[in-house]
Amino acid sequence: MYALTNCTIYTTQAILIDHAVVIEGQQISAIIPINALTNDIDRIDLQGQNLTPGFIDLQLNGCGGVMFNGAVTEQTLATMQAANLKSGTTSYLPTFITDTDQGIKKALHVTREYMQKKPNEVLGLHLEGPYINVQKKGIHRQEFIRQPDPEMIDLICANSDVVSQITMAPEKTPNQFIEQLANAGIVVSLGHSNGTYQQATEAIQHGASSATHLFNAMTSITGREPGVVGAIYDNNIYAGIIVDGFHVAYENVRLSKRIMGDKLILVTDATAPAGADISEFDFVGTTVYYKQGKCVGKDGTLGGSAVTLIESIEQCVKFVGISLEEAIRMATIYPAKAISVDNKLGSIEVGKIANLAIFNNDYQVTGTVVNGCYKATE
């Protein structure tokens, strides 16, 4: 048992000062006024920094110099977790983009093995594709994009304890499959879609409850056709948004926040350069170049991002005009609710798993707590 003291605590429900968070084993056991702490409890003095729930990233292709599609191994997931901790992300969905059926099966196996050994770090797999629209493929390999196959949909549903989210184009996916996946407890997310407002709305009515990287690789609002973006706005579903200054204009982040409220979630869509010093990397057979914070293929196509969640929070505050308290929620409790893990993660509450982030007023992460274990950032 130990206590985290001398900090500003953002619980997601309140901002507390002169309080301590007491951790016992893996859980938060108490949140009490500092003067109620007994002298026999070990203390970690956070020197006036911010204490928040650990950030949760629902879309992470890679970081720390590695890509999950590039090396589908438990070591890759461990490397990503270690890199995440340097920027306050304590839990994430490794994202496996469009690949063969065999590739998907391997990703399922590796993710399951890792999750069984390391609880509350990898929260499940995000399958981004392969059931998407070639016209909005982005960096995805065209030869692997295909129609949903009933046998594979059955397999994915049978692994719903491992698959947390799947990104699909509604115009390419029969509603029966969307319904089947949603009924299995998998978050069906609209993305890489050239669909109409009507097609997206029908998918939502059949169980789609989220959208992948809002504005990117999807039809947007025009005067006569609201597109997928309009359907997201109009149907009160969750959507991840990449706030790196490249993927979405800050003004559009602000407009979306005003419309969507607590359904707008910060995601990174990060790739190998996040938390690493590299200038290029392979993304499913395409060389992606990292220059001045931007990841692009030779043709200029965006190939993921190199942003972290702490940087996303900072940019929301500085350039979008969102309060720090709300930006923290966008990286913690809202993603936890979107994938139904808010019963144990996403906020600082008694009884929840002690996954926490510590950062100073310059948005430098100085430490994390994962499953109750405190670690200073190196």
Is there a contact between 372 and 27 (Cβ–Cβ < 8 Å)?
Answer: yes
Confidence class of residue 251 from pLDDT cuts 50, 70 and 90?
A: very high
Same domain, 82 and 226: yes
Instruction: Based on the fold, state whether residues 202 and 269 are members of the same structural domain.
Output: yes
The verdict on 206 and 61 lying in the same domain is yes
On whether both 93 and 138 belong to a single domain, the answer is yes
68, 130: one domain: yes
AA identity, residue 337: K
Which structure tokens are listed for 111?
A: 């993710």
Mean pLDDT on 319-347: 98
What percentage of the chain reaches a pLDDT higher than 70? 100
Q: Are residues 271 and 303 in the same domain?
A: yes
**Same domain as 183, residue 161:** yes
pLDDT of residue 114: 98
Mean pLDDT across 296-302 = 87
Q: Is residue 344 part of a domain?
A: no
Residue 367 lies in a domain: yes
Tokens of 52: 């928040």
pLDDT digits (tens, 9 = 90+) for 84-97: 999 999 999 999 99
Asked if residue 16 and residue 97 are part of one domain, the reply reads no
Residue 126 pLDDT greater than 90, yes or no: yes
Does 40 participate in catalysis according to the annotation? no
Q: What is the mean pLDDT of residues 77-106?
A: 98
Task: Write out the residue range of the structural domain in which residue 143 sits.
Answer: 55-338
CATH of the domain at 358: 2.30.40.10
Report if residue 213 sits inside a domain: yes
Sign of CA dihedral 295, 72, 70, 126: negative
| Structural domain count of the chain | 2
Instruction: Mark whether 294 and 255 lie in a shared domain.
Output: yes
Query: Quick one: pLDDT at residue 299?
Result: 87
Q: Are residues 13 and 92 in the same domain?
A: no
In a domain, 178, yes or no: yes
| Over residues 60-78, mean pLDDT | 97
- Asked whether residue 253 is domain-assigned, the answer is yes
pLDDT of residue 301: 84
- Model confidence at 341, pLDDT cuts 50, 70, 90, reads very high
- CA atoms 359, 363, 364, 370: torsion sign: positive
Indicate if 298 and 356 belong to the same structural domain.
no
- pLDDT tens track for 22-35: 999 999 999 999 99
Q: Is residue 171 part of a domain?
A: yes
Quick: pLDDT tens for 47-56: 999 999 999 9
Residue 354 is encoded by which pair of tokens?
A: 């002690």
Q: Are 281 and 272 in contact (CB under 8 A)?
A: yes
Tell me, yes or no, whether 343 lies in a domain.
no
Are 201 and 97 in the same domain? yes
**How many angstroms separate the CA atoms of 67 and 282, rounded?**
8
Choice among 57, 99, 244, 269 that is catalytic: 269
Phi, psi of 222 (to 5 degrees): -125, 175
The reported pLDDT for the residue numbered 79 is: 98
Given a cut of 90, is residue 46 above it in pLDDT?
Answer: yes
CATH number of the domain to which 116 belongs: 3.20.20.140
Mean pLDDT of the chain: 97
Q: In the predicted model, what is the mean pLDDT of residues 218-228?
A: 98
What is the band of 302 on the pLDDT scale with cuts at 50, 70, 90? confident
Taking the model in full, what pTM does it have?
Answer: 0.98
Predicted confidence (pLDDT) at residue 151 exceeds the cutoff of 90: yes
Helix (H) or strand (E) holding 178: helix 175-183
- Confirm whether 358 is domain-assigned: yes
